[in-house]
Amino acid sequence: MIKLTPNKTNGLAKDSWSDCFQVRSISKDRFIKKIGMLNEFEMNEIRLGLSKILSIDI
C-alpha cells in the first residue's frame, strides 16, 4: 500500500492509500470530475508497487 498525503496538486482531503493488491479496471465514464493529479514521485511509487504485485519489469 502506498500512502498519499494531501497537497494542493492531488486535491485529497485526508491521508489516503493506494492499495496495489486491489487492482481492477473501471470505465472512464464513471469518473464525474477530476479533483487533482498525483506527482511524479507518487506515481513512481504506485508503479513500483504494481510491478511487484504483477511480477512485471518497469
Backbone angles phi, psi at 31, to 5 degrees: -80, 125
Give the pLDDT score at 57.
87
DSSP type of residue 16: E
Q: What is the pLDDT of residues 29-57, one digit of tens each?
A: 999 999 899 999 999 999 999 999 999 98
pLDDT over 90 (residue 58): no
Give the residue among 51, 48, 40, 47 at the shortest CA–CA distance from 10: 40
CA-based end-to-end distance of the chain: 18
Q: How many domains does the chain divide into?
A: 1
Backbone angles phi, psi at 36, to 5 degrees: 170, -170
Give the residue among 11, 4, 9, 1 at the shortest CA–CA distance from 33: 11
